[in-house]
Amino acid sequence: MFHSVNVFTGETLYRRPAQDYAEFERQLADLKMRGRAFAQLGVTERAARLRRFAGRLEAEKERFAEMVCEEVGRCLHECRAEIGKSIELIRYYARLAPELLAHKTIATQASLSQVRFEPLGVVFAVMPWNYPVWQVLRFAVPAVCAGNACAVKPAPSVARVSQALFDLVSDGIPLAGAWLDEADTFKAIKDTDAMAFTGSTHTGRILAAHAGANLKKTVLELGGSNAFIVMPDADLERAAAEARYSRFRDAGQSCNAAKRIIVTEAAADRFIPLFLAECAKLKMGDPKHPDTTLAPLHREDLRNRVHGQVEDAVSNGAVCLAGGKVPQGPGWFYPATVLDRVNPACRVWHEEVFGPAALILRAANEEHAIALANDSPFGLGACIYTADTERAWRFAEKIQAGSVFINRHTSSDLRLPFGGVKDSGYGRELSEFGLYEFVNVKTYWQK
């Protein structure tokens, strides 16, 4: 059952059953025909239709932001930012796709040899709940630009906004919902041509194994436990403010957030009070209220998991400096929580914390800070705060992650590839590299 509720009030917003697989097969056959027709339009016309889609989404920006706010629970201003970035994404690819997908003539002994970028067919995607518009479009827009069709299985708890997004697409763009239960998801992977997945590492392993058994191309954007490294010479006030923003925005429910704050001992006693003062500024409340800066978590089980991780850490020697208590009242709120003295005996040392709890790891020196950053199964992103940027670049080369930011918290930029290594997955989204993930890079040779 796909079932959306207002996270703050508990009101049911939308319900629909999973579709029968025979119905999906009929839908898939239609989507394949639409995809072939769309691909034959050529990249210039495909881009023009996507620009019109961006215009329709822009006209509905406030309605979509409110739907995301109600169904996900994030602060309304954060949801507006998601829709705005999604519109920018569509226009970015519509502008660049004709150039990036142009045939490339290569000089060889042939009279003519080329590389062309041709679509794979139908890309099946399993998407998460935390950014229900951005995550779908982040994979789908470049895939569609390249001439693919996209069938998207949305997270069950954001069904209303997902359906609204599919309804808004129109204009012959082959992007449609796949309202499947878990068992039929495996059939869909087999019956389509490639797979994109954003979600937990556990689920990613299961889906990737099935896709691999059927030799389907996959891109996986999985969990993260990003290191936020504070060197002794850093601007500590700025670092504290950005650590608070990165860790607690979207109620801490972002794979790319700063989760492990690694502070050298030489800076710890100065940095930690500044960070705690920043955390104290956060205010829980109605996510639609402009004064709210810490929204509720998306579901009760997610709050229970975060609280269980916090209790486990404390029982294994970590010190809770702030938060750590489940509040009373409506909404699945959890306070801004800061755990100091986190050690390898704590579950959070190895697990992702998907909620508003920050971990402080103390490093003996700068080299130890880099070692701690790498002592994680995840490798999505990291950041380094220091006055010595030349040295920071040398440290950045040692970090096992898909991106490293210097004197800025981790984020995604349309112009740069996004993705990770290790348990954070493989493949890239965004930039030209994301555009090439779901194409057949095809060689042509003429004597």
* Angle 227-228-229 from CA coordinates, rounded to 5°: 105
CATH superfamily of this structure's domain 2-222+422-446: Aldehyde Dehydrogenase; Chain A, domain 1 (3.40.605.10)
Tell me how far CA of residue 404 lies from CA of 319, 383, 391, in angstroms: 28, 5, 13
Which percentage of the chain shows pLDDT scores above 90? 99
User: What confidence tier does 194 reach under pLDDT thresholds 50, 70, 90?
Assistant: very high
Non-local (6+) Cβ contacts of 413 within 8 A are: 430
Are 82 and 110 within 8 A, CB to CB? Answer: no
Q: Does the pLDDT at position 396 exceed 90?
A: yes
Q: What are the domain boundaries of the chain?
A: 2-222+422-446, 226-406
Backbone CA torsion sign across 54, 58, 63, 65 = positive
Q: Which of 287, 283, 260, 273 is nearest to 399 (CA)?
A: 260
Q: Which residues are catalytic?
A: 221, 255
Domain 226-406 maps to which CATH number in 3.10.450.630, 3.40.309.10, 3.40.630.30, 3.30.450.40?
3.40.309.10
Closest CA to 174 of 152, 198, 204, 203: 152
Predicted pLDDT at 282: 98
Query: pLDDT tens digits for 19-29?
Result: 999 999 999 99
CB of 104 within 8 A of CB of 115?
yes
Angle, CA 128 vertex, CA 64 and CA 290 arms, to 5°: 40
pLDDT digits (tens, 9 = 90+) for 329-342: 889 999 999 999 99
Q: What is the pLDDT of residue 329?
A: 87
Q: Using an 8 Å Cβ cutoff, are 99 and 112 in contact?
A: no
For the cut 90, the answer to whether the pLDDT of residue 426 exceeds it is yes
How many Å apart are CA 36 and CA 32, to the nearest integer?
6
Q: Matching CATH topology for 2-222+422-446 and 226-406?
A: no
- Position 330 scores a pLDDT of 87
Asked if pLDDT for residue 1 goes beyond 90, the answer is: no
pTM of the model: 0.96
The chain-wide mean pLDDT, for the chain, equals 97
* pLDDT one-digit tens code per residue, 357-395: 999 999 999 999 999 999 999 999 999 999 999 999 999
